[in-house]
Amino acid sequence: MPITMNLLTLPALLLASLTLLNCVEASAAEPTTTNTDQVVIPEVARRDVKLPRFPSNDFDLGLYAGTYSTQNFGTSAVSGLRLGYHITEDFFVQSVLAQTKVSDASFRQILPGGVFPNEKEKLRYYNLSLGYNILPGEVFIRTKYAMPFSLYLIGGVGSTTLDQQRRATFNFGSGMRVFFNDHIAMQFDARDHIFQLDLLGKRQRTQNIELSIGVTASF
């Protein structure tokens, strides 16, 4: 069916179109505003949190026992106390105080009165040493258990007292530390204590080997 349009309605249609176009342009030109005001203001009460204190385990204290071979005077049992401080993971310092007994029984067979006033005399020593961990790792017990350990070198200076003679002493050696847990460890040490003695009418430098085993506690 053909569409017919009255000439009188055409101007009205054009006027309505122009009015609608003007409204669209006006609305597009107006700036868009958004409400940036915060609707909900959070009010959270802050709590004082107490941070946990983790032990550093930089210090260790331990006891040890073993054998001390005094040059020219045989081998005797030795016992001592260790106190250490770990400067870094590699370096540590350690002080030692120990005591053993020295016997001149073999000399009394050929020398009247022996070398010492008494057949057995106490030998005491202390030292301060610097250690270096050269080989950290693990030691395996059978096939199911493994414990951390470290192999270290150590050396230092100190003093040895025997028969009222006090001599400067150098010590050096190596050891191994096996950790049962974060606080308890077992140490195996081999050291040479070097000092001079004047007991047989001639001053000589002596080499004195010490082998020991001990337990230390870290804190």
pLDDT in tens, the chain (219 residues): 444 445 555 566 656 666 666 665 555 555 555 555 666 777 777 777 776 665 678 999 999 999 999 998 889 999 999 999 999 989 999 999 999 999 888 888 887 777 888 888 999 999 999 999 998 888 787 777 888 889 999 999 999 999 888 999 999 999 999 999 889 999 999 999 999 988 777 788 999 999 999 999 998
Domain residue spans of the chain? 59-218
The CATH-assigned architecture of domain 59-218 is Beta Barrel (2.40)
Residue pair 176/161 in contact (Cβ under 8 Å)? The answer is no
pTM assigned to the model: 0.72
